[in-house]
Structure formats: C-alpha cells, structure tokens
Structure 1
Amino acid sequence: MSLRVEDLRIEIGGRAVVDGVSFEVPDGTRVGLIGESGSGKSLTALAILGLLPDGARATGSVRWNDREILGLPDRELAALRGDDIGMVFQEPRTALNPLHTVGRQIGESVRIHEGVSRREALRRAVTEAERVALPEPERLVSRYPHQLSGGQRQRVAIAMALACRPRLLIADEPTTALDVTIQAGILSLLRSLVHDAGMSLVFITHDLAVLAQVATHAVVLEQGRVVEEGEVTALLREPSSPVTRALVRDAAATLWHPEIAGTDAGTPASPADLPPSRGEAETDEETP
C-alpha cells in the first residue's frame, strides 16, 4: 500500500500554511518530512489522518492505496486510523490518558478495531509492551503514565500506534523531548519495528541528524512548500537549497555524537539487541 499526497493546500484564517505540497511514500519505504518550526510538516501529517484543528481547511489530494481519503467522513477515517495508519505524537505525556493504565490504553485500539474481549486486549497489550522493549511487561501494563519515565511513555505510545499492525506509521517528532541517549534508543526501536514489519514510515522532524537515522528519503519544507527532496545521504553530501544547507550545518555535530555514530538507517538493529528501557529512568525525568 502506498501513500500519495498531491498539491495539498491547508488554509487557516484565509492564509495558506501549506501550499501545494506533493510527495509519495511507496510501500515499505521510509520518508522524512523535515523543516523548521512553522514549515507545515506537522499540519501535513494531521491532514493525512483527518485531524486538522478546527478552522483549518485542506484541499488537494491524499490517496491511500489508490483511495482518496482527504475529506472522508469521520467514521471512515476513524476506521483507517490504527488499522491502516498509525501515528506517534511528539509528546506522550499529552497523548496518554493519566487516568487509565498503560495496558488499557495499548489494548483499547485492539478492542475497538478487532472487537476482542478485555482479557484478550490485555494479553495483546503485554505482547506489544514486550515488542517495544519495555521492562517486565506483565507488571508494567498495570502502571499509570505518571509512573513511567519519558522514554518509557514514548515506547507505550509506539505500542499503541502499532497494536493493530498498520501498514503506515506516521511519527511526528517523537524524540524531541528526550535526551540524546534515550533518543537513540527510541530511533533504533522505530527503525527496527518498521523494518521487521515491512511497514512504510513518514517521520517528521526539524533535525536532519535524527532523520538520517530512520529515513532513506527526505522532503524538505519551508513556509509550507517543498523546496528540495531526495535521498538523505545525497542531501547530506550535496544540499542545493539554502534551507537544506542550513539543516546540514545544524546536523553536522549531532551526526557524529558518540551515542548515535554509526546508526545507518539502512541496517536496523533487532529489538532484542536494543538497550533495556529500564535505563531510561536513570537518565530521563521520573515523575513520582
């Protein structure tokens, strides 16, 4: 299944904040949307899923497996979310419900989309928690979001997005709030999960060093327009637009940080080889 976005335009208050964006994500590929804050990359992702804020209007075309999904009724879009397309948001603290255990939240989409029992949903939640390398998953699913570190909360958010085995994952700056050590572990996890499942990936970021670890193709946005696109390695070597050149300069030091040096987006590690997530609590914030 492939995603094709053509001439996407998003207006808010009569002003175009995304203006003619086009790109394609063939089945099994990993594409990054990159640009500075306000470039329109996150709004583009929200338009794909029909999650634009009130007052925003999208025109153009978004085709999923040759089916036009831009402007679909909410009920049809809700069926696509989770089953076909999953999304990981930037801040797991706001994406997770503080009143429900993480097990209930991971299993909720399985119950909604597959109609399984509560017991089966909890069993699946344990399986998904283990899949994203969370420690002691049988115990962890009974905990609440505030009892986890930031890195662990993001792993829970990833588990929720992948619980129904979607064919496309959209990740909107999922490591921005994490320090570089934990960030490297989350990026490696995402890369390996997407690779092992044969999924497609749209990864949104403002950091080319981060993008280089998970995507093979990049679409560079500036003020709502595509200014350059191509293979990530080629853009790193020979950026042509001023925006991309600035992104390459900003990424130069991070690309060779000892925590992420040598992480080739084309050779994902196995989840079994990832560092245990319990170490995240030592370096990330822990809420009492």
Structure 2
Amino acid sequence: MSLEVSDLRIEIGGRPVVDGVSFVVPDGARVGIIGESGSGKSLTALAILGLLPDGVRASGSVRWNGREILGLPDRELARLRGDDIGMVFQEPRTALNPIRTVGRQIGESVRIHERVSRREALVRAVAEAERVALPDPERIVSRYPHQLSGGQRQRVAIAMALACRPRLLIADEPTTALDVTIQAGVLALLRTFVQDAGMSLVFITHDLAVLAQVATHAVVLEKGRVVEQGGVADLLRAPSSPVTQALLRDATATLWHPERSHPSISDAVAVAVDDAPTLAPARGSSLDAAVAGGDDTAPPPGPAEPDATDPERTP
C-alpha cells in the first residue's frame, strides 16, 4: 500500500503554512520529512491523518492505496487510524492518558479495532509491551505514565501505534524529547519493526543524523515548501539546497569523529545503532488485578521507572 501526497496546502487564518507539498511513500519505503522548526513538517503529518486543529484548513490530495483520504469523515478516519496507519507523537507524556494504566491504554488501542474482551486486550497489552522491549512487561502494564521514564513512555506509545499491525507508521520527532543516550534504542526499535514487518515509514525530524539511521529517502521542507528530495545518502554526500547544507552541518557536528580533523560524511551515511535491549524476565502477573478493578481513578504517586539505558537510573 502506498501513500501519495499531492499539492498539499495548509492554511491558518488564510495564511499558507504548507504550500504545495508533494511526495510518495511506496509500499515498504522509509521516507523522512526533515526541516527546521516551523517548516511545516509536523502539520504535514497531522494532515495525512486528519488531525489538524480546528481552524486549520488543508487542501490538495492525500491518497492511501489509491483512495482519497483528505477530508474523510471522522468516523472513517478513525477506522483508518490504527488499522492501516499508526502514529507516534513527539511527546508521549501528552499523548498518554495520565489516569489510566499503560496496559489499559495499549489494550484500548486493540479494542477500538478488534472485537476482543477486556482481559484479552490486556493479554495483548502485555505481549505488545514485551515486543517493544519494556522490562518486566506484566508489571509495566499496571503502571501509570508518570511512573515510567521518558524512554519507556515512548515505547508504550510505539506499542499503541503498532498494536493493530498498521501498514504505515508516521513517527513525528519520536526521539527529540529523549536523552541522547536512549535515543539509539528507540530508533533501533522502530527500524527493526518497520523492516521486519515490511511496513512503510514516514519519519519527521529536524536532525539529519537521526534520519540517516531510519530512512532511505528524504523530503526537505523550508517554510512549507519542498526544496529538495532524494536518497538520504545522496543528500548527505551532495546537498544542493542551503537548508539541507545547514542541516548537514548540524548533523556532522553530532557525528564528529575525534580522531579526524574534519567531519566524516561516510560515517553519517553508514551510521548504525545497537539492537534493542534484552528483555527482562517477568516477575509476576498483574493481569487479574487489572481486569478485576477499574483504573480510571487518580493514579498512585510513585517515582518513574528507571530506563534500561538511562545512565542516571538508580540501582
């Protein structure tokens, strides 16, 4: 299934903020949309799924598997989200419900699209938590978002987005809010899922060094317009637009090799990340308690769970 965006225009108060953006994401392709803050990349992603705020108008064409989806009624878009297209937002703390356990939230993402019982959904939630390499998944699903680390919350958001096995994943700056020491694990997780499932990926970022780790093709935006697009390796070797050159300078600063007197572009092309962390064994079931009791009351206080790759975690 392919995504085709043609002449997408987005206006806020009559002022164009995205102006004629066009690109194609073939089945199984990994495409990055990159640009500086205010370039329109996140608005483009929101328009694809019909999630633009009130008062923001979109026109043009967005076709999914040949079907026009721009302007679809909310009910039809709701079926599309999760079943066909999943989305991971930049800040999981705001994307997750603070008064529901993460297991309940993962399970609800399944129940919206599949006819399963609450208990079956929680069993699936444990499986999805394990799939995204959350430690001790049966315990994690009984926790509330504030009791998890930032990296763990983002893994929960990824589990929710992938629970119904969509064919396309849109990830909007999914590692920007994370410490650099745990970004690599989340990027590796996304890359593994996309490659293993053969799904398509639209990855939104302002960081060319990050994009090089997950995407093979890039669309560069500046002030709402496409200024360059092509293979990521080609853009790294020979960027033609000033904005891409500026993004490359930022990326090479990140990828500076201390033994060399200049940045290595080949490092950026071939940058790799470690595999997702090994799963910790479960230490006991909390499913029965979760099924028996509601979790819509105020969550209990408690410290965040230490991230498996967080250098500041407590022993």
TM-score band, normalised by shorter chain: over 0.9
C-alpha distance in 2, partners of 1:246/1:12?
Answer: 27
Match of 1:181 in 2: 181
In 2 relative to 1, CA 266–81 (structure 1 residues): closer, same or farther, beyond 3 Å?
farther
Q: Which stretch shows the higher mean deviation, 153-162 or 269-278?
A: 269-278
2:293 corresponds to: none
TM-score, normalised via structure 1 length: 0.93
2:137 corresponds to 1:137: yes
Q: Which residue number in structure 2 is paired with residue 3 of structure 1?
A: 3
Cα pair 1:83 1:165 within 8 Å, conserved: yes
CA spacing shift, 1:179–1:257, aligned 2, 3 Å: farther
Tell me the SS of whatever aligns to 2:112. Answer: helix
2:308 to 279, 285, 288: 279
Alignment correspondent of 1:62 = 62
Name the CA distance, whole Å, in 2 between partners of 1:123 and 1:188.
25
- Taking the TM superposition and a 5 Å limit, the aligned residue runs for 1:1-288 are 1-256=1-256, 271=276, 278-283=307-312
Q: 1:268 to 1:82 in 2, by over 3 A?
A: farther
For 2:150 and 2:274, locate their aligned partners in 1 and report how far apart those are by CA, in whole Å.
22
Question: Structure 1: which amino acid aligns with 2:102?
Answer: V
Residue 122 of structure 1 aligns to which amino acid in structure 2? Answer: L
1:113 alignment partner AA: H
3-state SS of paired residue (2:158): helix
The CA distance in 1 between the partners of 2:280 and 2:89, in whole Å, is 23
Aligned equivalents of 1:279, 1:242: Cα separation in 2? 39
Contact persistence 2:20–2:225 (CA under 8 A): yes
Over aligned residues, Cα RMSD in angstroms? 2.3
SS of match in other structure, 1:239: coil
Query: C-alpha displacement at 1:255, in angstroms?
Result: 2.9
Q: Select the structure of larger CA radius of gyration.
A: 2
Secondary structure at the aligned position of 1:20 is classed as strand
Conservation of the 8 A alpha-carbon contact between 2:209 and 2:268? no
- Residue segments in structure 1 that go unaligned for 5+ positions in a row: none
Partner AA of 1:279 in structure 2: A
Question: Matched residues in 2 for 1:268 and 1:83: separation?
Answer: 29
Q: Is the 8 A contact 1:191 1:268 kept in 2?
A: no
Contact kept, 8 Å, 1:182 with 1:280, in 2: the verdict is yes
Which SS does the other structure have where 1:279 is aligned?
coil
TM-score (norm 2): 0.85
Would you say the 8 A contact 2:48–2:62 is kept in 1?
A: yes
| Cα distance change of structure 1 residues 275 and 26 upon mapping to structure 2, 3 Å threshold | farther
Deviation of residue 268 (structure 1)? 7.9
Which structure 2 segments of 5+ residues have no match? 259-265, 282-305
How far residue 179 of structure 1 moved from its aligned partner, in angstroms, is 1.3
- Matches of 1:57 and 1:278 in 2, distance apart? 40
For the Cα contact (< 8 Å) 2:33–2:205, is it kept in 1?
yes
Is the helix fraction higher in 1 or 2? Answer: 1
Cα deviation code 1:215-267 (max 9, x no counterpart)? 00000000000000000010000000000000000100223579xx9797898
**Counterpart code for 2:33:** L
Q: Is the 8 A contact 1:128 1:159 kept in 2?
A: yes
Q: Is the 8 A contact 1:195 1:268 kept in 2?
A: no
Alpha-carbon spacing, 1:170–1:102, altered in 2? closer, same or farther (3 Å)? same
In the TM superposition, what is the alpha-carbon distance from 1:180 to its structure 2 partner?
1.1
Q: Is the 8 A contact 2:37 2:206 kept in 1?
A: yes
Looking at structure 2, the residues matched to 102 and 57 of structure 1 have their Cα atoms a distance apart, in angstroms, of 33
The offset of 1:278, in angstroms, is 3.9
Task: Return closer, same or farther for 1:280/1:273 CA change in 2, 3 Å cut-off.
Answer: closer
